[in-house]
Amino acid sequence: MDFKNVSYLLSLITIFFLFATSQSLARLHLRPTITSREMTSPVADNSGGEWVLLYKSTGVSAMHMQLLHNGKVVIFDRTDFGTSNLPLPAGKCRRNDAVVKLDCSAHSLLYDVVSNTYRPLMVQTNVWCSSGAVHPDGTLVQTGGYLDGDRKIRLFTPCNDFQQCDWVEISQDLTVRRWYASNQILPDGRIIVVGGRRQFNYEFFPKIPAKGSFKELYQLPFLQKTTDRFEENNLYPFLHLLPDGNLYIFANRRSILFDYVKNRIVKEFPAIPGEKRNYPSSGSSVLLPLHCPSPEAEVLICGGAPNLAYFKANNLSVYVEASKTCGRLKLTDPEPHWVMEDMPMGRIMSDMLLLPCGDVLIINGASNGTAGWDDAVGAVLNPLLYIPTQPDPTRRFAVLNPTTIPRMYHSAAILLPDGRILVGGSNPHQTYNFTAPYPTELSLEAFSPPYLAPQYSNLRPSILSVMDGHQILSYGQKFSLTFTLREFRADRDISVSVIAPSFTTHSFSMNQRLVYLEIDGGVRKLSESCYKVNVIAPTSRNVAPPGYYMLFVVHGVIPSECLWIKISNG
C-alpha cells in the first residue's frame, strides 16, 4: 500500500506534531540493520517447538496460502513486479503483464505436504492482496486482486493427478474491484466478500435471485465510518460467522453483529481499547473454539499499531512500537465487554492460528512499524502459544523457540494435517530484493509446536477409522471413531475437534474455525491400545458451514494427525 501522494503541507504539519511531543519520541525507533540478536539460531528444545527448513527457495514468495482437502497447499504471490524465480513449464507464458511484455515465470505453486514437493501454477491476472474461501465442494474460490485482476474470480479445484490441476479464471466478474477484501463461507454454501479499498459494501458468490433478479451489491456504511482519513486501518476486515447465523465484522477498533440476509446491524459492540487493529495497522483475529452442542462465541484480537503509525513509517521512516495487547470479547454475553491482556512483546503483522488442542499460535511479524513497503523493523522471531482456557491470565502466554528467518510484510502461515505449521513468504519490497536488511523470502519452513515433541509420542492418538470408512457426515449424525493410543492417561481427557482450513494472507486467516464435537457415552476400550468413541456431528450449519474439515482426536493437548471429513447438507 502506498500513500506517497499525501500533500507536502500535511507532511509538514505531521512532522511538527511528531517532534513537538517528547513523550512520543521515547517510543520511536529508526530503521536498524538486522543484528545478530535478531538472527538467533533456532533451538530444537522439545518444550518450545522445533523449526525445519523445507526449502531455501521455491522461487515464489508465499503471500497467500490455502490448504486443500487432498493434502496440497496452494501458494501465490503477485504478478506486477516482474518475473519470479520459478519458471513455468515450457510453452506457458503470460502476455498481458504490466511490467514485462512476456512473463514465463510462475507466481503461484502447488505444494504437496506428504512428499514435500511442489510444481508451478499459472495465474492469468494480478492476484496481489486478494482474498479467498473454499467452497463446500472443496474448490478454492479466490477473489479480486489489483489492476487487471481486481474484479476477477479464479477457481482451483483439487484433483487426484498432481500434475493436472491449475487455476481457472471464470468469465463472471465481481461487481466492484476487491483489493484488501475479506471472505467468509456462509451456512448456505455461498461466500460473502466484504470491503476492500474504497469499497464500503459487500457481495456474494455465487449470486442468488432477489425478487426475480440478481442483486449485485449491498452497501455497508459501517466500513466507511471505520476508515481513518490518511491510513484507512480497516482493510482486510475480520469476519467470523457466529452460531446464531449472523456475521461478526471487526474493522479498525469497532465491531458489529451483522445480519447479511436483511442487510442490517443487529448490535454494535464496544470499541476495543488501545490501538488500531486492521490493515495497515495489522493485528490479527480468531474466533475461539466452539463447543457443541450449545456453543458460546468469543473472539480474540491481538496486536496492531497506534494511530498515525503507518504515516510515520511510510513518510518519515519512524517506526512506532507495535501493540502488546490482546482483547477477548464474549459475543454471546448479554452485555459483551473487552477483557484485555498483554503479550510478552508487541507484534504487528502476526498470524494467529487455531491448533487442534484449542490453543492459539501467534507467529511471524515485527515489533515496530506497520504493514506496507519497508514500513516495519524488528522481526519478531519467537512464536507465542496462547492458552485460552488457562484460568490465570498471567500464565496464558508461552514464548516458543525462534526461527532464524524474519517473516515480515507479506508472510503467511497455515496449519497442516499432521499438526505442523507451514510458514513462508515475507517481501516488504516492491520487487524481489535479496540484499535488503529484511530480504524477500522464497523459503518454506515447518514449525512443530510443543505437542509434537518426541517425548509425547506414546500419548499421541492415531485415528484408525470413521464410520467404517464413510467420511461424509450429515448435521447431527452420530458416528463412531476408533483410534490407537499406546499410553492412555486417565488424567487427560479425550476430545474430538474439527478445523476448517484457512485462507491466510496479510495476518488474517479467513474462514478458520475450530469446533469441539460432543462425545456420546465416553471412551470405550477395545483392546490393549485401541479405543472407540461415539461422536455427534455439529447440528447446525451456523456452527460448521458445509465443507471439508480436518478431524483430530486429542489426548489432553496431544493431537493425532487429522482425518479429512466432509460435512454435508444431506
What is the tens place of the pLDDT at every residue in 74-88? 999 999 999 999 999
Which residue type does 414 have? I
Per-residue confidence (pLDDT) for residue 209, from 0 to 100: 60
- Strands in 242-336 per DSSP E: 247-251, 254-259, 264-269, 284-287, 290-291, 298-302, 318-320, 325-330
How many Å apart are CA 82 and CA 431, to the nearest integer?
7
What is the tens place of the pLDDT at every residue in 234-277? 999 999 999 999 999 999 999 999 999 999 999 999 999 999 99
Per-residue confidence (pLDDT) for residue 2, from 0 to 100: 45
Per-residue confidence (pLDDT) for residue 100, from 0 to 100: 86
Residue 155 has φ and ψ, to the nearest 5°, of: -120, 140
Q: Give the count of beta carbons closer than 10 Å to the beta carbon of residue 492.
A: 15
**Three-point CA angle 522, 513, 135, nearest 5°:** 115
Burial of 498 (0-12, 13-18, 19+ CB in 10 A): buried
Q: Give the count of beta carbons closer than 10 Å to the beta carbon of residue 189.
A: 15
Q: With both helix axes pointing from N to C terminus, report the angle between 309-316 and 8-19 in degrees, rounded to the nearest 10.
A: 110
Instruction: Return the residue matching grid coordinates 491482556.
Output: 341
Instruction: Return the residue matching grid coordinates 503541507.
Output: 9
How many Å apart are CA 277 and CA 415, to the nearest integer?
23
Per-residue confidence (pLDDT) for residue 41, from 0 to 100: 34
b/e for 239-250, b at 16 or more Cβ within 10 A? bbbbbebbbbbb
Per-residue confidence (pLDDT) for residue 467, from 0 to 100: 78
How many Å apart are CA 183 and CA 130, to the nearest integer?
10
The CA distances from residue 115 to 35, 54, 119, 166, 380, in Å, are: 35, 11, 12, 19, 30
User: Which residues in the chain come in under a pLDDT of 70?
Assistant: 1-46, 96, 162, 209-215, 468-469, 570
Q: Give the count of beta carbons closer than 10 Å to the beta carbon of residue 354.
A: 24
Per-residue confidence (pLDDT) for residue 95, from 0 to 100: 85
**Cβ–Cβ under 8 Å, residues 200 and 181:** no
How many Å apart are CA 545 and CA 400, to the nearest integer?
33
DSSP 30-97: EPPPPPTTTTPPP--BTTTBEEEEEES--SS--SEEEE-TTSEEEEE--STTS--SSBPPTT--BS--
Per-residue confidence (pLDDT) for residue 210, from 0 to 100: 52
**Cβ–Cβ under 8 Å, residues 456 and 489:** no
How many Å apart are CA 209 and CA 201, to the nearest integer?
18
